Structure 1
C-alpha cells in the first residue's frame, strides 16, 4: 500500500471514530487508529497532533467558511442576513462523508467529558469567527455576539437533523437544514419581545 494516499486524513478520522464508538475514547490509542486506517503512526502525526485533534479536525475550515460567507454578503445585508450567508457557504461545503460521521462523532463526544469540553470550545471558536466577521462589517459588539451565537446554534441544530440516522429517506443538503433551523431561531428571538 502506498504511504501517501490522498485520503489518509479521512481514513484516520473514520478509523478513530469507529474505535471510539467500539471501545471508548480513553481506551483507543494512536497506534490502533493508524493500524485500522492502514497507515503508520508517523502518518497519523503528520495529520494530527494527538487523538483529541481528530474531533476538531474541521473546525478551522468551518470557521473560515462561515466568515467568508459573511464577508461576501452584500454590504447592506443585516447582521442576521450576513450570518445566513455564512451558514449557506459553510453548509454547502459539507458532503455525505461529513453526514456519515455525525452519529459516530456524537457517540464519542457524549461518552467522554474531555471531548464534551472540547466540543464546547469548538462552538466558542465558531462563534468568535462569526462575530469577528460581523465586526469587520461594522456591526456593534453586542449585536455581533448575539448573531454569532444564533448562527452557531442554527448550524449545530441543522447538522444534528441532517446527520440523524433515523432518516430513512435522503436527508437532502445540509444547507436546507441549517436554513430551516436559522429561521426557527429567528422566530424564537422575535417571540422574546
Structure 2
C-alpha cells in the first residue's frame, strides 16, 4: 500500500473527509437522502459537527465530495507545466483540457458501484440536480483558470472551458450511466471536435 502524502495534519484532515463521505453514502443508502441529518453523518463518521462543517457546508455538498475536478486539473497542470504557452490556439487549449477532463472522468469511475449510486441519488432529488448545475459552472471556472495559467488568452480560455464541460456532459449522456463507458465517451467527444466530419 502506498504511504499517504502530506503532513500529519493533512493526513488527518483527509481521513476525516473520507470518513464523512463514506458515512454519508452508507446512511443515504440505508435511509434515503431525506432521512439523514448532518448529525447522523457526523455520528456515523465519529467526528464532531464542527469537523463536518470544516469540510462541507451541508449534506448536499457531501454528495459531490468525491467529484474533484480541481485535483485532476492540478495534476494535469503540473504535468504539462513545461509545455509551450497556449496563446490563442483553440486546438491547443482543447488538447490540454482533453487530458484533464478525461482524467476527471476516469477518477469519477474508479469505483463503478459508488459512481452508479451517486448518479441514482442525484437523479432522484431535484435539489441535488440543482446543486449539480452549480458544480458545472465551477468546473468551467476551474478549466478557465487552468488555461489562463498555461498561457491561454481570455477568449480562448473562455470558449475552450465551456466546450470542455460540454464534452464531459455529451460523453456522460452517451455513456447512459455506464461507468465503464464514461471516460471513453468523453474522450470520443473531444476527438469528434478534431474530426468534425467523422
**CA RMSD after TM alignment:** 3.7
User: C-alpha distance in 1, partners of 2:13/2:149?
Assistant: 39
Q: Match for residue 118 of structure 1?
A: 131
Q: 1:69 to 1:101 in 2, by over 3 A?
A: same
Out of 42, 62, 82, which is 1:54 matched to? 62
Unpaired runs of at least 5, structure 1 = 166-170
Count of aligned pairs between the two proteins = 178
Q: CA deviation at 1:117?
A: 1.0
User: C-alpha distance in 2, partners of 1:86/1:5?
Assistant: 25
Q: CA deviation at 1:79?
A: 1.2
Q: Match for residue 84 of structure 2?
A: 75
Q: Match for residue 72 of structure 2?
A: 65
Q: 1:12 to 1:161 in 2, by over 3 A?
A: farther
| Structure 2 residue 19 is matched with structure 1 residue 19 | no
Answer whether contact 1:110 1:116 (CA < 8 A) is retained: yes
Out of 179, 182, 186, which is 2:187 matched to? 182
Q: Match for residue 99 of structure 2?
A: 85
Q: Match for residue 168 of structure 1?
A: none
User: C-alpha distance in 2, partners of 1:190/1:142?
Assistant: 22
User: C-alpha distance in 2, partners of 1:54/1:48?
Assistant: 6
1:3-23 Cα deviation digits (max 9, x unpaired): x69633222212212333443
User: C-alpha distance in 1, partners of 2:156/2:32?
Assistant: 40
User: C-alpha distance in 2, partners of 1:126/1:187?
Assistant: 21
User: C-alpha distance in 1, partners of 2:187/2:162?
Assistant: 11
1:68-110 Cα deviation digits (max 9, x unpaired): 525753216611111123235545766845x442122112211
SS in 2 for 1:7: helix
TM-score by length of 1: 0.68
Out of 148, 173, 185, which is 2:161 matched to? 148
Unpaired runs of at least 5, structure 2 = 1-11, 87-91
